[in-house]
Amino acid sequence: MTHPHKNRRIVIAVTAALLAGAVGAQASGVALQPLSAEDVDTAKLSGELACGFGVDAQQTIMLAHGDVASEDAAQGIVKVNGAVKTVSAPGGFDAMIEGARFKGNGVSIVIKVTGEATGDGESPPRPATLTFAGMEGATNIEGQWTCGP
């Protein structure tokens, strides 16, 4: 017979390994992971310009592309508990700059810009909050929203 404490240690170790690199891991069971180059390439997002949300400049948690001066929906991706999900928001690139509400594949993502740009240049990041809700659970993450070429 296996000792119950041994099984508990195994579950804790496996859970910790699964959540390594995850952002927004909460008791609800949702973990948003940084997108890889392969995730982005596989998604084949169309659109002239992009917006991305990240906790830091090195890891993008959510990415969306859209066309300027377009009514076509912006298309985005997010990795939830290891699975890449596609989402969309109405209004193209122009509608994403100040934040947006994305929906699709059973998830909702709201990007709310919370302050002024924190840098110079053509596409400086702005402080923002990403609110995720889906069947996996819900979480809020503070980070940066960056839009541009």
Give the pLDDT confidence of 29-45 residue by residue, as tens digits.
899 999 999 999 999 99
Integer Cα distance of 34 and 56 in angstroms: 10
Classify burial at 65, counting beta carbons within 10 Å of its beta carbon; exposed 0-12, middle 13-18, buried 19 or more.
buried
pLDDT of residue 46: 93
CA pair distance 149, 146, nearest whole angstrom: 10
pTM over 0.85: no
- Say yes or no to pLDDT of 131 above 60: yes
Please name the residue that has the structure tokens 């659109």. Answer: 47
Count other C-beta atoms under 10 Å from residue 6's C-beta: 9
Asked if pLDDT for residue 28 goes beyond 60, the answer is yes
Q: Does residue 12 sit within a domain?
A: no
| Count of domains for the chain | 1
Residue 88 belongs to a domain? yes
Say if 2 falls within a structural domain: no
Q: Domain of residue 144: give its range.
A: 23-148
For range 65-80, the mean pLDDT = 96
